[in-house]
Chain A
Amino acid sequence: MAKMKGAIIVNTERCKGCSLCVVACPLNIIQLADKMVNRRGYRYVEQTNQDACTGCTSCAIVCPDGCITVYRKKIEN
């Protein structure tokens, strides 16, 4: 069966760490990076489980700063 595989890239310099994507992600695979900040002093988010992502775009849609780019591809098993 074909499966959707997704991937996200976070623009960590633009991210303000508001965490709205963390709660929007249906798979709970986005978190604030541990003890890491960008040049502006904001903690930014990162994906914790890259293999699970389906590319549903929820995180990117709710992001107020447009920091997240989402990729999606159909993988044939």
Chain B
Amino acid sequence: MENIISPENIVYQKPALLNDEHMHYCPGCSHGVVHKLIAEVIEEMGITEKAVGVSPVGCAVFAYKYIDIDWQEAAHGRAPAIASAIKRLWPEHLVFTYQGDGDLACIGTAETIHALNRGENIAIIFINNAIYGMTGGQMAPTTLMGMKTATCPYGRQADLHGYPLKITELAAQLEGTCYVTRQSVHSVAAIRKAKRAIRQAFENSVNRRGSSLVEIVSTCSSGWKKTPIEANAWMEEHMFDYYHIGDLKNTTEQ
């Protein structure tokens, strides 16, 4: 046992870019996994000094405290606008935004759609957990039909609240996007795929191929009032039927 635990035998450890700051996320939150993937990808691409993230308003508002790269905090929903400016001024850099569904698909819909439509060379990481997590589990545009939240306690109804917004499908229609995909991080296989997707999106930004959108269908165990394990099972059962996992568009392969 003792002779196994030595530095040369390490096969997996926390990426060095993810610092020792205690993450404020609830136990089992998908944000942690995605943070880890972003840190791993930036490390593997060797672009630590050339990576700029734009953190949102929402649970990930403190993302800049956890990953040791350059960050800019954006006003609610405006991350793609700020990222556009940074990328235009620093065309050699990797510029990405990290946004939740309340930030990207509600208050920031205009910025998101127009940044993607302009084909800004940025990558957008979109965490979709179908709820407003930070403010206490209110209904979001992405909340599923019939799903109960603090502001729709009898379940979401079409006549009262409209339908869940598939922003990723919308983005795939836009000329400016080069890579649009939907992933999740509920299992080892899914996490590996999500990592490949993030890597592809980041490479597209660095190589200025157009806009990339990576949606990560995520859990919110506190907002959904479930344990992390139950939340993953609920997500597999209900979310994937509406938010289908897979690539929606990839024009970089030809």
CA distance A14 to B36 in the complex (A): 14
Contacting pair B28 A19 (CB below 8 A): yes
Judge whether A69 is part of the interface by a CB distance below 8 angstroms. Answer: yes
CA distance A68 to B15 in the complex (A): 11
The answer to whether A72 and B4 touch (CB under 8 A), given A18-B27, A62-B191, A64-B25, is yes
Contacting pair B15 A66 (CB below 8 A): yes
Q: Which of A11-40 contact B (CB under 8 A)?
A: 11, 14, 16-20, 22-24, 40
CA distance A61 to B27 in the complex (A): 15
Shortest C-beta distance, B228 to chain A (Å), equals: 4
Q: Which of A56-77 contact B (CB under 8 A)?
A: 57-58, 60-73
Shortest C-beta distance, B231 to chain A (Å), equals: 10
Number of interface residues of A (CB under 8 A): 35
Judge whether B45 is part of the interface by a CB distance below 8 angstroms. Answer: no
Contacting pair A9 B5 (CB below 8 A): yes
Number of interface residues of B (CB under 8 A): 35
Query: In the complex, what residue of chain B is closest to A60 when comparing beta carbons?
Result: B12
Q: Which residues of A contact B5 (CB under 8 A)?
A: 7, 9, 71
Query: In the complex, what residue of chain B is closest to A26 when comparing beta carbons?
Result: B188
Contacting pair A71 B6 (CB below 8 A): yes
Q: Give the residue of A20, A40, A50, A64 whose beta carbon is less than 8 angstroms from that of B1.
A: A50
Contacting pair B229 A66 (CB below 8 A): no
Judge whether B204 is part of the interface by a CB distance below 8 angstroms. Answer: no
Contacting pair B14 A71 (CB below 8 A): no
Contacting pair B27 A6 (CB below 8 A): no
Judge whether B254 is part of the interface by a CB distance below 8 angstroms. Answer: no
The residues of A with any CB-CB pair to B shorter than 8 Å are 5-7, 9, 11, 14, 16-20, 22-24, 40, 42, 50-51, 55, 57-58, 60-73
> Can you give 14 contacting A-B residue pairs, CB < 8 Å?
A5-B4, A17-B27, A20-B232, A22-B229, A51-B1, A55-B11, A57-B11, A61-B192, A62-B33, A62-B187, A64-B23, A64-B25, A64-B33, A69-B12
